[in-house]
Chain A
């Protein structure tokens, strides 16, 4: 039972353009959502999060949007840079800190 789904395994974007990574969830008990970034041979690194009481959170080039009615969130990166090339995991938690991860989207930013 995949409670957090990232349906796009990979995405290629030109440098300077916008990258949009999508995530869907099924558990309505989730109240906190996170994006992690992972480089090869390293552990995931926290990127940005959003509480279920908000619909948008922005941090520099990164913005996360939450649509609770659709159980959908997205991560926007603008402008995209080659250093953003990594695997991005969507994650969700509810109640306490147990986090459920999606399967990841590999982003390639082409110079």
Chain B
């Protein structure tokens, strides 16, 4: 079956613009994660959904960042009033498992956001 897909793959935004990044997880996967990966760094956790519920948003760097998963499938990460420090690759991952156990996370290819 299809893996995790993300769109767009590349996004260039002018400082101050709003952007929306989309993630289509693997069908049937309950858990969905967003990560931010800066150049030369490992992915850093942003937020976690179990179905439509956002159970952890402790990694969101500011209130300009907002994520949703209204029907428990597709998720959107929105960044308002983008700043240059938001430039990074945004990775989405999904897994079959839920809280209390650890299952393999399947990652999408990421969206590379460049803020000019």
Contacts and interface: CB of A to CB of B under 8 A. Distances in A.
Interface residues of B, number: 29
B104 A46 contact: yes
Nearest to B40: A103
Interface in A77-94: 89, 91, 93
Question: At the interface, is chain A mostly helix, strand, loop or mixed?
Answer: strand
B40 to A, nearest CB: 7
Question: At the interface, is chain B mostly helix, strand, loop or mixed?
Answer: loop
Given A43-B91, A46-B105, A98 B56 contact: yes
A96 B109 contact: no
Interface residues of A, number: 24
Interface stretch (B65-73, B77-85, B95-103): B95-103
B107 A97 contact: no
Given A89-B42, A99-B45, A101-B43, A43 B4 contact: yes
Interface of B: 4, 31, 33, 35, 40-45, 48, 56, 91, 93, 95, 97-110
Q: What 5 pairs across the A-B complex have the smallest Cβ distances?
A: A43-B107, A101-B42, A96-B99, A32-B102, A46-B104
